[in-house]
Structure 1
Amino acid sequence: MIDISTSYKQISALKDYHKLIKFLYFQNTLSDVLFQISENDIELVRLIRSYGVISDFKEKFKLIISDYAKDDIFLELITEKRFKTTSEGTVIDLKTKLEWLEGPDEPTSWEMAEAWVDSLGGEWRLPTTDELCTLYLPHSKRKGVYGYPLCIDFSFKTESAYSRWSTRRNSNSAWIFDYERGYYHFLELWVKGSYDRAIAVRFSTSS
């Protein structure tokens, strides 16, 4: 079932690649005809996604579009979706089986992040640096509201911050991961950075 919330950016990227896809994969086939007569943009996305689950097609296309600036947006259309947003507002990573919940979109110190996570209950905790690293997408072209790279999946909605708090380092500092530059470092526990936010994680129980 196609997700009708497909973004305008994704639709635009699809249109950009329309002729290339048709020529390389659908030429003189029934799918070629279907591709040409698709009634609307959503139907086009449905068709591409139906082919996107085919490994051979997917791998070839990754190589072909690697030279194009919009590859990360378009790959989301033709590959199986890694992140699933739930009705409760959490994000499940189907690859790592971790479930994520974004904290308040406001400048946040580690002390504030810890207090917020503790208030959640339900086995939520602050993530390790290794867990935060799994969310980093080095080839992403996404940018935050201030124009800097924000290399994390679009399932995570906060765009005004670039760093997420991790676990305590020692009695005075804690680790924090930077999704602009792709590395973690440490800050004092009380520092309330303008671009720093809380995020909680737990192991997903969803199938």
Structure 2
Amino acid sequence: MKKLVLIPFFFLCMKGNAQSIYTEILSKTVLIDGLEVPKQDFPIQMTWKEAKTVCDSLGNGWRLPNLEELNILYRNQQSIGGFAKCPDCYYWSNRIIKKDETIGWFKDFDKGYIIFQPRNNPKKRVRIVRNWILE
């Protein structure tokens, strides 16, 4: 019985920990071309669906970037900072193929290519954005 009580508690702690990691990432941002961008990637690579779920849970306008926004991030990666330096460093976009919603688009931040592939595999890096509006 004690084990059954501890399992839900463990998952609640994990969820709280993950949320605090994302809150920390979102506390350090830069403004580029009307976008607010965190200075760090998410700590783990994710499927498209996982990344979308996290964005939805963060709220406040945070989302996966569209392809043009990914190009802005790519061109400004030095001034933004925190991008992975590796061959095949792929970042998800919010774009899907309308005829086949299992296919998602992503950008290779090493070579600059835009590529599409099934959204569920393999996992990619995630850098989110939101529109920045002067209030």
State the TM-score bracket (shorter-chain normalisation): 0.5 to 0.7
User: Which has more radius of gyration?
Assistant: 1
Q: Check if 1:97 corresponds to 2:34.
A: yes
Q: Match for residue 52 of structure 2?
A: 114
Please tell me the root mean square deviation across aligned C-alpha atoms, in Å: 2.5
- The answer (yes or no) to whether the contact 2:90–2:109 under 8 Å persists in 1 is yes
Q: CA deviation at 1:134?
A: 1.4
Q: What TM-score, normalized by structure 2, do the two folds share?
A: 0.66
Q: CA deviation at 1:188?
A: 0.8
- The answer (yes or no) to whether the contact 2:45–2:126 under 8 Å persists in 1 is no
Q: What TM-score, normalized by structure 1, do the two folds share?
A: 0.45
Q: Check if 1:167 corresponds to 2:94.
A: yes
Q: CA deviation at 1:180?
A: 0.5
Question: Which consecutive unaligned segments of at least 5 residues does structure 1 have?
Answer: 1-86, 138-150
State the aligned residue count: 105
| Cα shift readout 1:70-112 (whole Å, capped 9, x = no counterpart) | xxxxxxxxxxxxxxxxx9212211xx11111344222211111
Match of 1:199 among 124, 127, 130: 127
Structure 1 107/159 Cα, relative in aligned 2: closer, same or farther at 3 Å?
same
What percentage of aligned pairs have identical amino acids? 28
Task: Give the Cα–Cα distance (whole angstroms) in 1 for the partners of residues 46 and 27 of structure 2.
Answer: 22
Larger RCO, structure (CA 8 Å, separation 6 or more): 2
- The answer (yes or no) to whether the contact 1:165–1:175 under 8 Å persists in 2 is yes
Question: Which consecutive unaligned segments of at least 5 residues does structure 2 have?
Answer: 1-25
Structure 1 177/198 Cα, relative in aligned 2: closer, same or farther at 3 Å?
same
Task: Give the Cα–Cα distance (whole angstroms) in 1 for the partners of residues 65 and 105 of structure 2.
Answer: 10
